[in-house]
Structure 1
């Protein structure tokens, strides 16, 4: 059974029982990603690392080894 079929079945059951329908699949994906990113940045700050630009900075060091970072 696919996730769409399961959602339709759950919505039908909720309607029959008079309860609120469950949220659609993927309805809260953006919020989950945003919370994950915020938590990752918060943990980086607590560990004393820069919160943003770490991947770009690391790739810049790896791809352009002769170039020095000023930050």
Structure 2
């Protein structure tokens, strides 16, 4: 059984139980690889999210809102 067949089986079982279907296989692979890379570089898996938040705070503080 490959991953797509397993996903269809799990989605069918979740529908029978009234639960949410699991995410599609491979949907979050790039995000997970980025977090692994950040963890290996900095020791913190959420380093990329912290950088994005820092940049967003910097830009919102320096640009006046209309």
Q: Identify the TM-score tier after normalising by the shorter chain.
A: 0.5 to 0.7
Which structure 1 residue ranges, 4+ long, deviate > 6 Å from structure 2? none
RMSD: 0.9
Taking the aligned partners of 1:23 and 1:2, their CA distance within structure 2 comes to 15
Q: Determine if the alignment matches structure 1 residue 41 to structure 2 residue 41.
A: yes
Count of matched residue pairs: 43
Gapped runs of 5+ residues in structure 1? 44-71
Map of 2:16 onto structure 1: 16
1:3-61, Cα deviation, whole Å (9 max, x unpaired):
11010000001011100000000011011111011011114xxxxxxxxxxxxxxxxxx
List alignment gaps of at least 5 residues for structure 2. 44-66
The 2-side partners of 1:13 and 1:27 are apart by 20
Scaled by the length of structure 1, the TM-score of the pair is 0.57
